[in-house]
Amino acid sequence: MKNYQILITNDDGIAAPGIKALTEVMQELGQVTIVAPDSPQSGMGHAITINNTLEVKYHPNYLETDHAYSCTGTPVDCVKMAVHEILKSKPDLCVSGINHGSNSSINVIYSGTMSAAVEAGIEGIPSIGFSLCDYSWNANFEPIKPYIKKIVTEVLTHGLPEGVILNVNFPKTELIKGIKVCRQAKAYWEEEFDKRINPMGKEYYWLTGKFVNHDKGEDTDEWALAHDYISIVPVQFDLTAYHAIQQLNNWNL
């Protein structure tokens, strides 16, 4: 197999068990470079740092690689830093994760894990975001490692359509039934703010809510995960709603 150059990042931070597990798998496939946030950056979406400085720290022999760096910025900052400052050339692949928690359905919009993969896709790098539906820091990643290797090998062999990134989610089970290529479920968060008073008498808020899925389709990522299948959703960074162009052209603009 070709000595592939693989960029690894995440949003849970360089010390997260998920990125360690992903690195172990990628080291079987090529030369890895890790560029990840120095602290957890979940829910940062596609945020970038523009009003502050960025710092990069080198971590020699981290996870048995001499190519590991942490960055004080967001997951997207990490990809930008890797592509434009750290790497001598664009890698053959970028993998992001393994995220501690689901990034299925609407969560893909908020996910720092997926935004990092999307940023690599914008740079023309085949990219995959991996997430496990287990928020525990001590989540068991061992059962999903063979599937990660299989999916990555297929992408390295066949490539991806232009502008397409893969959003891969794993169910929380050791008895995975298989892999399904899906669409994103039409689900959302019913959100509210928990209003509280601090000891100084000042008001503050915690964002809370529950995830609601009214999509009954059996071709969605939520259905697949609920039935112990791995979901793969091809996503894109072109947000144009092409089906609406003709309707808008009929307006009196």
CB 152 within 8 A of CB 27: no
195 falls within a domain = no
102 falls within a domain = yes
- What is the per-residue pLDDT across 198-234, written as a single tens digit (0 to 9) for each? 999 999 999 988 899 999 999 999 999 999 999 999 9
Task: Examine the pLDDT at 57 and tell me if it is beyond 70.
Answer: yes
177 falls within a domain = yes
CB 120 within 8 A of CB 79: yes
- The rounded distance, in Å, linking the Cα atoms of 102 and 122 is 23
Q: What angle do CA 226, 44, 206 make, to 5 degrees?
A: 80
8 falls within a domain = yes
Closest CA to 131 of 214, 239, 225, 63: 225
Backbone angle region of 168, left / alpha / beta, with phi > 0 → left and psi within -120 to 50 → alpha? beta
205 falls within a domain = no
CATH number at residue 142: 3.40.1210.10
- What is the per-residue pLDDT across 117-149, written as a single tens digit (0 to 9) for each? 999 999 999 999 999 999 999 999 999 999 999
Looking at residue 195, its pLDDT comes to: 93
Segments forming the whole domain that contains residue 174: 4-183+217-249
25 falls within a domain = yes
245 falls within a domain = yes
Q: What is the pTM of this model?
A: 0.93
Span 158-169, average pLDDT: 97
Cis amide linkage into residue 98, ω under 30° from 0? yes
Task: Examine the pLDDT at 162 and tell me if it is beyond 60.
Answer: yes
208 falls within a domain = no
Domains held by the chain: number: 1
Q: Name the burial class of residue 213, with classes exposed (0-12), middle (13-18) and buried (19+) by CB atoms within 10 angstroms of its CB.
A: middle
What 3 state SS string does 26-41 have? HCCCEEEEEEEECCCC
Q: What angle do CA 103, 106, 107 make, to 5 degrees?
A: 30
Closest CA to 151 of 135, 171, 123, 170: 170
